[in-house]
Amino acid sequence: MADAVPVVKLEGVRKAYGTGTPVEVEVLHGIDLELQRGEFVALTGPSGSGKSTLLNIIGLLDRPTAGRLLISGRETGRLNDTELTQLRGHSIGFIFQTHCLISAFTALENVMMPQLVASEFPNDAIRARAEELLDQVGLTRWKDNLSSNMSGGQQQRVAIARSLAMNPVLILADEPTGNLDTKSADGALDLMRQVNRDHGTTFLIVTHSMDIAHRCDRIIDVVDGQIVN
C-alpha cells in the first residue's frame, strides 16, 4: 500500500513566461498530479509540450506562477531560495540527458559531490558511501577515472550513482537514455528499476521513447501544457 503522504503533489500548477509583458506565454495550464512513494513513472509528450518545465518545477529548479507544490507533504510555495536549495539537495536526485558530470572530477568525486555540498568537508563516511554506490552501478574499477574519459553509458551510470548519494525520496530523470545506444539504454533503465525496487525511490522519467515509457508503472502524457492521460 502506498504511503498516505504522496512524494509529489501538484494542485493547479501553472507556469507562464514573460508575465506582465505583451509576449506572455503560459506553458503549463493547471496541472494536478500525485506521485506516490516507490512509483516508477514515465512523463511523455511531444517537444514543447511542457514536460521539462514540469520536471524543473517538481525538481524545485523553477517556481510555478500559480498553484501548489508539495514535496513529501511540505508546502514549497513559501520557502525561500536557501530552504528550497536544502530541500532539493536532501530530497531530490537528478539524472540529466547529457549526464552532467563535472569533467575535471573523477567518477568517485562526482558521486561524493552531493554529500560534500551538504557537509562542506570530505570524510571517510562520504567516500565509503560513494564507493558503495559506484559498486552498485558496477563501476568500482573505474572510480578513479576522470568522468570525461568514460563512455556515455558509464557516465550515465555515474550520474545514477550520484543521484542516489543523498538517499533521496524522488529521482527526476530528463531523457536519461537519450544519448545512449540501445544496450547502454537498457542497462541504465534496468539499473534505475533496480534502485526503485531496492530503495523504494520514486522515479519520474521524461522520455520520448514509448518503449521506455511502456516499461514504467504509469505513463503521464503531457500535451500543450496539460495532462491528457
Partner 1 sequence: MQTLFIITGVSIGVAVIVFMSALLSGLQANFIKRVLTSSPHIQLIPADEIARPLRGGAGIIEAAIVQRPAQRLRSIDQWQKVRAQLQTWPDITNVSPSVSAAALAVRGAASRSISLTGIDPEVYFNIVPLPDYIVAGQPRLTSDDIIIGLDLGIDLGVTVGDKLTLTSATGASRVMTISGLFDLGNKGANKRVAYVALRTAQTLSNLAGGVTSIDLTVRDVYAAETIAQAVETATGVQADSWIKTNAQFFTAVNAQQTSNTMIRLFVGLSVAFGIASVLVVSVIQRSRDIGILRAMGTSQGQILRIFLLQGALLGFAGSLIGSALGGGTLVYWHNALRQADGSEIFPLILEPQLFISAMVLAALTGVAAAAVPAMRAAQLDPVVAIRG
Q: How many angstroms separate the CA atoms of 21 and 133, rounded?
A: 47
Region of 6-14, 24-32, 68-76, 98-106 interacting with partner 1 (CB under 8 A): 98-106
Q: How many angstroms separate the CA atoms of 54 and 170, rounded?
A: 14
Q: Which is nearer to partner 1, 90 or 197 (CB)?
A: 90
Per-residue binding letters, 99-138, with partner 1 (x by CB under 8 A): -xxxx---------xx--xx-x------------------
Neighbours of 132 (CB within 10 A): 13
Q: Which is nearer to partner 1, 19 or 229 (CB)?
A: 19
User: Does 96 help bind partner 1 (rule: CB under 8 A)?
Assistant: yes
Amino acid at 112: M
C-alpha cell at 8: 509529489
Q: How many angstroms separate the CA atoms of 61 and 55, rounded?
A: 9
**Exactly one of 33, 130, 134, 166 binds partner 1 (CB under 8 A); which one?**
166
Q: How many angstroms separate the CA atoms of 89 and 86, rounded?
A: 5
Rounded to a whole number of angstroms, the minimum distance from the CB of residue 206 to partner 1 is: 13
C-alpha cell at 120: 562542506
- Give the 3-state secondary structure of 137-173: CCCHHHCCCEHHHCCHHHHHHHHHHHHHCCCCCEEEE
Per-residue binding letters, 56-95, with partner 1 (x by CB under 8 A): x--x-xx------------------xx--xx-xxx---x-
Q: Which is nearer to partner 1, 98 or 140 (CB)?
A: 98
User: Does 16 help bind partner 1 (rule: CB under 8 A)?
Assistant: no
Rounded to a whole number of angstroms, the minimum distance from the CB of residue 81 to partner 1 is: 6
Sort strands 202-206 and 170-174 into parallel, antiparallel or unpaired. Answer: parallel
- CA–chain centroid gap for 100, Å, is 12
Rounded to a whole number of angstroms, the minimum distance from the CB of residue 93 to partner 1 is: 9
Q: Which residues bind partner 1 (CB under 8 A)?
A: 56, 59, 61-62, 81-82, 85-86, 88-90, 94, 96, 100-103, 113-114, 117-118, 120, 162, 166
